[in-house]
Amino acid sequence: MLKIDKWQGYLFIVLFLLGILITVQFRTQQNFLNDLTLQKTEDLVMMLKKLHDKRSGLEKELQELNRQTQIFQKDVSEGAVLAENLRHELKRLEIALGLVPVKGPGITITITTESPLVYLDLVDILNELWASGAEAIAINDQRITSWTKIYWDKNTFSLTINDQELLYPCTIKAIGDPGQLEAGLRLVGGVLDDLAIYKIYPVITREEEIEIPAAAPPVLYYISGST
């Protein structure tokens, strides 16, 4: 085992104290350099002047940023208003085109199985409903659009709407003023009178709220619309 000499112990203590002393001295010196009050006055005045300049530069920058922010906020809010108007217009056209399901007051017209209905009767009924202010119409939950095909299919011997056979009882729903819609159908010499000749007696019910589903969007090949 290594024997520690007496003097080695003393030397350790002395060097330890010396270390502390050097540290303290270094710190003091550091504080002295960092302490502004101990700097030359001219330097301090110069520093203050520079700080003033920096401050006014920053203030200008902030003003500029505020101005930009205001412009952006205006643009953003104007854009939001424009987008809102566009969405409103889109919704209106989607309702008109039958691309969204709709609801509202109206009437239902029910035609039972025994009726010798022909497709032109449906065309007449639809025309009368549109003339009476109908806003949306469906036949057996098929939304009527500009592209709805109503015809007599000679191959299947069936009244056909959009390639689907019309099943009975046939229910026509129309949204609009219920009174006006019914009155239109009941006009003297109108649709119901014509149907009665063929012993077709549709049942008309006024409804507070009916729902009409959406149609598929059209697929157009030949049209090229210009704006």
Partner 1 sequence: MTNLKWQLPLTLVFFISGILLAVTLRTISASDQNPWRQRNENLVAMIETQEKIIANLEKSIEENRAYLDRCQQELAAGKKELETLQERLRQLKVWAGLTEAKGPGIIVTLDDNREGAEAAQAANPTQFKPEDYLIHDKHLLYIINDLRVGGAEAISVNDQRIVTSSDIRCVGPMILVNTTRLAPPYTIKAIGNPQELMEILEQPESEYSILKMAGFPVSLEAKEEVVIPPYKGGYQFTYTEAKEE
Nearest 5°: CA angle at 24, between 22 and 26?
70
Q: Which is nearer to partner 1, 163 or 199 (CB)?
A: 163
Shortest Cβ 110–partner 1 spacing (Å): 20
Q: Which is nearer to partner 1, 17 or 196 (CB)?
A: 17
Shortest Cβ 171–partner 1 spacing (Å): 18
Name the residue among 138, 141, 159 with its Cα closest to residue 150.
159
Shortest Cβ 132–partner 1 spacing (Å): 8
| Helices within 151-215 (DSSP H only) | 178-185, 191-197
Q: Which is nearer to partner 1, 177 or 202 (CB)?
A: 177
Shortest Cβ 27–partner 1 spacing (Å): 9
Q: Which is nearer to partner 1, 123 or 196 (CB)?
A: 123
Shortest Cβ 193–partner 1 spacing (Å): 14
Calculate the alpha carbon distances from 137 to 34, 81, 92, 114, 149 in Å: 86, 32, 16, 23, 14
- Cβ count near 130 (within 10 Å): 15
Q: Which is nearer to partner 1, 91 or 112 (CB)?
A: 91
- Cβ count near 68 (within 10 Å): 10
For tokens 């019910």, the residue is 205
